[in-house]
Amino acid sequence: MRLVLASTSPRRLDLLTRIGAVPDRVAAPDVDEDVRPGELPRPYVLRVATAKAHAVTRADDEIVLAGDTSIAVGRRILGKPEDEADLRRMLALLSGRRHHCLSAICVIGPDGKARTRVADTVVAFKRLSDADIDWYVASGEGMGKAGGYAIQGKAEAFVRFLSGSHSGVVGLPVFEARALLAGAGYPLG
Protein backbone atom coordinates (compact mmCIF):
# COMPACT_ATOMS: atom_id res chain seq x y z
CA MET A 1 0.00 0.00 0.00
CA ARG A 2 1.38 3.39 -1.05
CA LEU A 3 0.86 6.73 0.69
CA VAL A 4 0.34 9.98 -1.17
CA LEU A 5 0.64 13.30 0.65
CA ALA A 6 -1.59 15.87 -1.06
CA SER A 7 0.41 18.81 0.22
CA THR A 8 3.70 20.53 -0.48
CA SER A 9 3.98 21.73 3.13
CA PRO A 10 7.35 20.70 4.59
CA ARG A 11 5.75 20.82 8.06
CA ARG A 12 3.10 18.25 7.12
CA LEU A 13 5.73 16.00 5.57
CA ASP A 14 7.90 16.20 8.70
CA LEU A 15 4.97 15.49 11.03
CA LEU A 16 3.87 12.49 8.97
CA THR A 17 7.35 10.96 8.97
CA ARG A 18 7.47 11.32 12.77
CA ILE A 19 4.68 8.74 13.05
CA GLY A 20 6.34 6.39 10.56
CA ALA A 21 4.15 7.32 7.61
CA VAL A 22 6.65 8.20 4.90
CA PRO A 23 4.82 9.20 1.70
CA ASP A 24 5.69 7.36 -1.48
CA ARG A 25 4.92 10.52 -3.37
CA VAL A 26 3.98 14.12 -2.70
CA ALA A 27 1.46 15.87 -4.93
CA ALA A 28 0.44 19.51 -5.03
CA PRO A 29 -3.36 19.77 -5.04
CA ASP A 30 -4.81 22.68 -6.99
CA VAL A 31 -7.93 23.82 -5.14
CA ASP A 32 -9.73 27.07 -4.46
CA GLU A 33 -9.09 27.96 -0.81
CA ASP A 34 -11.17 31.13 -0.81
CA VAL A 35 -13.70 31.38 2.01
CA ARG A 36 -17.25 31.30 0.69
CA PRO A 37 -19.75 33.94 1.86
CA GLY A 38 -21.17 32.96 5.25
CA GLU A 39 -18.89 29.92 5.56
CA LEU A 40 -17.99 29.03 9.15
CA PRO A 41 -14.48 27.96 10.19
CA ARG A 42 -15.06 24.23 10.87
CA PRO A 43 -16.97 23.48 7.63
CA TYR A 44 -14.42 25.59 5.76
CA VAL A 45 -11.34 23.57 6.84
CA LEU A 46 -13.19 20.29 6.25
CA ARG A 47 -14.23 21.39 2.76
CA VAL A 48 -10.72 22.48 1.79
CA ALA A 49 -8.98 19.38 3.20
CA THR A 50 -11.48 17.11 1.41
CA ALA A 51 -11.13 19.05 -1.85
CA LYS A 52 -7.33 18.72 -1.63
CA ALA A 53 -7.58 14.95 -1.14
CA HIS A 54 -9.95 14.57 -4.10
CA ALA A 55 -7.81 16.86 -6.31
CA VAL A 56 -4.96 14.34 -6.38
CA THR A 57 -5.04 11.34 -8.69
CA ARG A 58 -5.11 8.12 -6.67
CA ALA A 59 -4.25 4.63 -7.91
CA ASP A 60 -6.15 1.63 -6.50
CA ASP A 61 -3.28 0.74 -4.14
CA GLU A 62 -2.82 4.28 -2.82
CA ILE A 63 -4.02 6.15 0.24
CA VAL A 64 -4.21 9.93 -0.08
CA LEU A 65 -3.82 12.21 2.94
CA ALA A 66 -4.58 15.93 2.76
CA GLY A 67 -4.94 18.60 5.41
CA ASP A 68 -5.87 22.19 5.96
CA THR A 69 -5.29 24.45 8.94
CA SER A 70 -6.98 27.73 9.72
CA ILE A 71 -7.13 30.15 12.60
CA ALA A 72 -10.57 31.26 13.77
CA VAL A 73 -11.40 34.22 15.97
CA GLY A 74 -15.08 33.77 16.61
CA ARG A 75 -16.66 33.32 13.18
CA ARG A 76 -13.77 35.06 11.42
CA ILE A 77 -11.32 32.89 9.49
CA LEU A 78 -7.75 34.14 9.37
CA GLY A 79 -5.96 32.79 6.34
CA LYS A 80 -2.41 33.57 5.29
CA PRO A 81 -1.53 37.26 5.48
CA GLU A 82 -1.47 39.03 2.13
CA ASP A 83 1.19 41.53 3.17
CA GLU A 84 2.91 43.05 6.19
CA ALA A 85 -0.08 45.28 7.01
CA ASP A 86 -2.38 42.26 6.98
CA LEU A 87 0.03 40.37 9.24
CA ARG A 88 0.02 43.30 11.70
CA ARG A 89 -3.80 43.33 11.65
CA MET A 90 -3.92 39.60 12.43
CA LEU A 91 -1.43 39.83 15.28
CA ALA A 92 -3.33 42.77 16.79
CA LEU A 93 -6.55 40.74 16.56
CA LEU A 94 -4.93 37.73 18.29
CA SER A 95 -3.29 39.88 20.97
CA GLY A 96 -4.44 39.02 24.49
CA ARG A 97 -7.21 36.68 23.42
CA ARG A 98 -8.06 33.05 22.81
CA HIS A 99 -8.59 31.72 19.32
CA HIS A 100 -9.16 28.34 17.70
CA CYS A 101 -6.74 26.57 15.43
CA LEU A 102 -8.74 24.14 13.31
CA SER A 103 -6.73 21.48 11.55
CA ALA A 104 -8.69 19.16 9.24
CA ILE A 105 -7.47 15.93 7.71
CA CYS A 106 -9.00 13.91 4.90
CA VAL A 107 -7.76 10.40 4.08
CA ILE A 108 -9.04 8.54 1.04
CA GLY A 109 -8.28 4.83 1.27
CA PRO A 110 -8.13 2.08 -1.34
CA ASP A 111 -11.89 1.66 -0.91
CA GLY A 112 -12.38 5.22 -2.18
CA LYS A 113 -14.03 6.29 1.09
CA ALA A 114 -13.10 9.75 2.42
CA ARG A 115 -12.45 9.75 6.18
CA THR A 116 -12.19 13.10 7.94
CA ARG A 117 -11.37 14.56 11.34
CA VAL A 118 -10.92 18.06 12.69
CA ALA A 119 -8.62 18.87 15.60
CA ASP A 120 -9.78 22.00 17.42
CA THR A 121 -7.01 23.54 19.49
CA VAL A 122 -7.56 26.57 21.70
CA VAL A 123 -4.59 28.92 21.79
CA ALA A 124 -4.27 32.11 23.82
CA PHE A 125 -1.70 34.78 23.06
CA LYS A 126 -0.34 37.18 25.63
CA ARG A 127 -1.17 40.84 25.10
CA LEU A 128 1.22 41.90 22.34
CA SER A 129 2.96 45.25 22.53
CA ASP A 130 3.79 47.25 19.43
CA ALA A 131 7.40 46.14 19.95
CA ASP A 132 6.32 42.47 20.02
CA ILE A 133 4.45 42.90 16.76
CA ASP A 134 7.33 44.82 15.15
CA TRP A 135 9.79 42.10 16.20
CA TYR A 136 7.63 39.29 14.85
CA VAL A 137 6.81 41.02 11.58
CA ALA A 138 10.51 41.80 11.05
CA SER A 139 11.34 38.10 11.46
CA GLY A 140 9.31 37.30 8.32
CA GLU A 141 8.15 34.08 9.96
CA GLY A 142 4.42 34.84 9.87
CA MET A 143 4.10 35.26 6.12
CA GLY A 144 2.59 32.23 4.41
CA LYS A 145 1.19 30.87 7.70
CA ALA A 146 -2.47 30.58 8.66
CA GLY A 147 -3.30 33.32 11.14
CA GLY A 148 0.08 34.93 10.50
CA TYR A 149 2.12 32.89 12.96
CA ALA A 150 4.20 29.73 13.30
CA ILE A 151 3.82 28.19 16.76
CA GLN A 152 6.90 26.04 16.18
CA GLY A 153 9.00 29.18 15.81
CA LYS A 154 9.32 32.60 17.39
CA ALA A 155 5.56 32.97 17.96
CA GLU A 156 5.75 30.29 20.63
CA ALA A 157 6.98 33.10 22.91
CA PHE A 158 3.50 34.67 22.62
CA VAL A 159 1.53 31.55 23.68
CA ARG A 160 0.33 31.70 27.27
CA PHE A 161 -2.17 28.83 26.96
CA LEU A 162 -2.76 25.90 24.63
CA SER A 163 -5.37 23.17 24.91
CA GLY A 164 -5.46 20.55 22.18
CA SER A 165 -3.04 19.40 19.52
CA HIS A 166 0.27 21.25 19.28
CA SER A 167 1.05 19.38 16.04
CA GLY A 168 -2.36 20.45 14.72
CA VAL A 169 -1.35 24.08 15.14
CA VAL A 170 1.89 23.33 13.27
CA GLY A 171 -0.20 21.91 10.42
CA LEU A 172 -1.11 18.24 10.96
CA PRO A 173 -2.63 16.74 14.11
CA VAL A 174 -0.60 13.52 14.31
CA PHE A 175 -2.97 11.66 16.66
CA GLU A 176 -5.87 12.12 14.24
CA ALA A 177 -3.67 11.44 11.19
CA ARG A 178 -2.47 8.16 12.65
CA ALA A 179 -6.03 7.07 13.49
CA LEU A 180 -7.34 7.89 10.00
CA LEU A 181 -4.43 6.14 8.29
CA ALA A 182 -4.93 3.03 10.42
CA GLY A 183 -8.67 3.11 9.64
CA ALA A 184 -7.86 3.19 5.93
CA GLY A 185 -5.60 0.15 6.30
CA TYR A 186 -2.21 1.86 6.15
CA PRO A 187 0.36 -0.24 8.05
CA LEU A 188 1.82 1.67 10.99
CA GLY A 189 4.23 0.24 13.56
pLDDT for res 112 = 95
Considering 30, 68, 120, 134, which one is annotated as catalytic?
68
pLDDT for res 189 = 73
In angstroms, rounded to a whole number, what is the distance separating the alpha carbons of residues 26 and 33? Answer: 19
Contact 7, 52 (CB under 8 A): yes
Q: Assess if residue 104 is contained within a domain.
A: yes
Q: Assess if residue 188 is contained within a domain.
A: no
**Domain limits for position 133:** 1-182
Task: Kindly list the averaged pLDDT for each block of 10 residues, start to end, along the chain of length 189.
Answer: 94 94 95 95 98 96 96 95 97 98 97 97 98 98 95 97 97 96 91
Number of domain units in the chain: 1
Give the strand pairing for 62-73 and 76-78.
Answer: antiparallel
68 included as an active-site residue: yes
Contact 16, 65 (CB under 8 A): yes
| CATH code of 135's domain | 3.90.950.10
Q: Assess if residue 187 is contained within a domain.
A: no
Contact 151, 169 (CB under 8 A): yes
